Chain A
Amino acid sequence: MIILFLLIAGNAFFLNLVLPWWSAALPGLFFGYRLNVTPIRAFGLGFFAVFLAWGAHAAYVHIASNGVLSSRMAELFGLTQEWILIVITAVIGGMLSGCATLTSSLLAHSRNKK
């Protein structure tokens, strides 16, 4: 399961470098089918994998740039803290991946039911 978690996180990160934002859903769709866990766990696993991938990516950009843009964006969205932007980014990626992983694992469940 840890391997699948890392596969989803890693693939989401690399796919995003070449594909648009919705690519965060693809690893979950692909690997979720191989997950044999409860739906809640499937969602959680997919969610946290990309939460981590996107969150780390955003956090890296924020720190490497001394927050030059994140501070402006935080003000634009009326946020008091810049790290909230990183969390929002991570949650968006996580939600996409969570939904995808869940969908895929539910498909596997349904097929196995017979």
Chain B
Amino acid sequence: MQKIGVIGTGSIADVHLEGWRRMPGVEIVGYYDLLPEAAARAAQRYGGRAFASLEALLAAVDVVDICTPASTHKELVLAAADASKAIICEKPLARHSADAREMVEACERAGVMLFPAQVVRFFPMYRRVKERIDAGAIGKPAVYRSARCGAFPRPGGKFSAVHYADFAQSGGVVLDVGVHDIDFARWCCGDIERVFARGLTFAGRPYQDHAQITLRFVTGAIGFIEVSWAHPRGVFRTRVEVAGDGGLIEWDSLDRPPLLVELYDEERGLQRIASSPTAPEDEPYYAELAHFIDVIEGRAQPIVTARDGLEAVRAALAAIESMRSGWPVALKEFGG
């Protein structure tokens, strides 16, 4: 039985907790949050108890699940590593490369698992893309494209919108969203050689952000990623395409869903509800957490490592630097 402690009880913690709650072999022991009432609310909803301090939580658990904003990760990971707890840490791994590196090295020294929650690797369509590439279906990957476009985030209401709008804290759309696609691109095409980006991050639009990132991989492949917090509210558009020297794989969230509901009423007119449900065990956050448990219990090799989390942060920060300077950034010598 793995005893789970959740640090930070905002909206992503809710998603994790829905998974932990129905997973066999784990027990939700409790929560720590800077806002005690938030931790208490989580305890009421998912069981376990609210801890008054980080130390108290660490003393009571085997595993910590860090669900706080990126800028707070380093301190929490270092404390958990010190206490020899296995760690799953939300993306981006850190706000700055140096912090991410320090976290990775501390966990390596302590012999502690630091698992970056790069959840896109667990989305079934992305997983299938990678599997088909590995099976040789498209030959050697040559041109990678993906997109992740939505509205400006405000999951917990105004407070979180203010957090995301604070570039110093969030790193904007390129760090917060870009690490998803950068990590997946690296999974498909390997290490990144250089990055070029254009975007809105420094355009003085506090509640709109958007970027286009151009990549060159070490293998010679090239790539393009669009990330957006400038699309209309309600839109969440994702897609991925990998062309190789022997074929092509593509998926687009605009593709027809397996279930489409059409309802009419005089007041609201036509309502269209698209749905693409999965079996509970294939739900990506559940699959990610279950894989993490399999890894720490020795049943699986991790499909993503702390180093991958660090490299995704580095490439995202290089894209931000490119937007700032107007020049391509070589990743090898980039400190971030």
Chain B associates with chain A: no
Q: Which residues of A contact B (CB under 8 A)?
A: none
Q: Which residues of B contact A (CB under 8 A)?
A: none
